[in-house]
A and B are shown apart, each in its own frame.
Chain A
């Protein structure tokens, strides 16, 4: 009845020798804390203290030895306070006992405000976890890479082509500097997906001719507006519902499935046509995003991928991918049907992919072979934006025109105050080139 888990391992033989030496030293000089601190301990900073950011910190600390959380930051002071309470709870609840020693926070390294990310980056950290709403990702990433930090960043990594171009530039800079970037498209680190995808790439289903990807579910959380909140504070606290903050749900959520299509095909779409609308979730409390999209993505060699996503209560739920080839098909993670059938053995331990992505990040840093998923996740993000824009504008959108489009949805300087809600996108009228200024 249990879903077997196993802790990921990031210990190479060389590190094992180091660790053993440290243990021996500790035995020789018990109570000498300076000797317990390994020279290769990685100091972690968290930017974005919500449930996912705090969860990402836990995943990172759980994933590897010799990692310490030393700084946190969030726009809102209440989220910082909440995060610290949750970290204390995390340490108490941890039955292995290892987490408590890895959380090294005090008042001086818990920051709030729009510049909190700079203070976290400036706290002598080695790795930064970026988990704020997507609007801020590109600028936070740029600052982190500029400062020479390794990065874990949640998806999506931008909301418009300006952000995506910035992420690609940061990814290139990270490569030059030997810095690691791992993204929260955790299917890429899931043992089942990796096993299936390896077989697909080895030809188990022949040539891929089509795919279908879905994220259909009900609505998500919403925080009723409080009288003391400015427009900007209200929007950021309800970031899901504003395109400039989340990218809309096709970008924020459905990106996971679109990423699987890109992964299977080893390519990004070259053009897209789509439909979408805001039919059910129409109250102003839910900003201006759509509640459903259906997109026809065209990839190289005439391969078409159907993408469908919906957030409407009381409708059929479906979160899945299906890859179709000339010799078979696959759900991309557990089953291949056709000429070379395969099934993931349910008894095989399957590590938690949310932890594994951090184990892979830390191991790659220590091995001196930093993973760099920056361009890959930027391309997937732009793919999802392409679907959104196909629906928003009602036009056929090509990759090249989108990548180079003058679409700039995030104000250069975000600060609390008035900010009108941009109108709901109207196919046939909404232009691809648009900016927060014209909203």
Chain B
């Protein structure tokens, strides 16, 4: 165990790819280094339901802890319906969470793992996208189709993580599939998502794609106040982790 920890530290020091786990579960996720002056890792895939479920549905708690309501304020409310919209679950990107929920997941994961996980900044996301395209930011239709799920090829649904080709950084689905929350806001103070999604036409899926949250994204939540955790009408929004040392 100690040996494994030492090896893991060594690999991190070299800013190499690594595989992390959510303690107490069998869930694993992969992080890839982003070349640059400061060490930074970014999720190889969008955060999947396998990871998100542990937190959102309190699968790390015992039934007794769950029924006592412990930790209730820091976890999502129970969705009334199927949060995955029937697209698929195991291996699929988690979706339709609010910016607040995505941020809170990162805080929980950091506490759970002892590592500093967070959402990418807008600039970090852009840099990863540009490096991933290896300078070829003018996406040809063929390249876009090879890398990204968009409205022209997705069949109106999200797809399993890493079903398209990896980019030059080894990242999957940075463009398309689900659009990804980043920290930082647009000029109106609204959070933004990057990269475009399965719901966007091809010309709105790419390294410069940026969309701000509108009221349409949660129009049909029938409760008031509306959920601060789930977006009733945005099954095209997800997120990806970054980690700094």
A residues in contact (CB < 8 Å) with B: 1-5, 51-52, 54-59, 86, 89-90, 95, 186, 216-224, 253, 283, 285-286, 313-314, 316-320, 346, 352-354
Contacts and interface: CB of A to CB of B under 8 A. Distances in A.
B111 to A, nearest CB: 22
B98 interface: no
A378 to B, nearest CB: 21
Interface in B195-223: 196-197, 199-200, 204, 211, 214-217, 219-223
B80 A1 contact: no
Contact of A54 (B79, B219, B223): B223
A152 to B, nearest CB: 12
B20 interface: no
27 contacts: A1-B196, A1-B199, A1-B236, A2-B217, A3-B216, A3-B217, A4-B216, A5-B219, A51-B223, A52-B222, A55-B221, A58-B224, A86-B224, A86-B225, A95-B215, A218-B57, A219-B57, A220-B78, A221-B78, A223-B69, A224-B67, A283-B63, A285-B67, A317-B89, A318-B86, A319-B81, A319-B82
A55 B232 CA distance: 14
B38 to A, nearest CB: 31
B224 A90 contact: yes
B182 interface: no
Contacts of B53: 314
A89 B226 CA distance: 12
Interface string B55-93: 001010001100111000000011111111010010000
Interface residues of B, number: 41
A44 B168 CA distance: 60
B64 to A, nearest CB: 8
Contacts of B89: 316-317
A222 B67 contact: yes
Contacts of B64: 283
A284 to B, nearest CB: 8
A217 B81 CA distance: 6
Contacts of B236: 1
Contacts of A218: 57, 78-79
B224 to A, nearest CB: 4
A286 B67 contact: yes
Contact of B211 (A1, A54, A186, A222): A1
Contacts of B244: none
A55 B222 contact: yes
B186 interface: no
Given A218-B78, A218-B79, A221-B78, 4 more contacts: A1-B199, A4-B216, A317-B82, A317-B89
B200 A354 contact: no
Nearest to A317: B82
A167 B82 CA distance: 30
Given A218-B78, A283-B67, A55 B224 contact: yes
Contacts of A222: 67, 69
B217 A51 contact: no
Contacts of B196: 1
A188 to B, nearest CB: 15
A3 B59 contact: no
Q: Which 3 A-B pairs have the closest CB atoms?
A: A317-B82, A51-B223, A224-B69
A286 B69 CA distance: 12
Residue among B57, B82, B211 with most chain A CB within 10 A: B82
Residue among A1, A51, A90, A283 with most chain B CB within 10 A: A1
B222 A221 contact: no
Nearest to B223: A51
Contacts of A52: 222-223
B241 interface: no
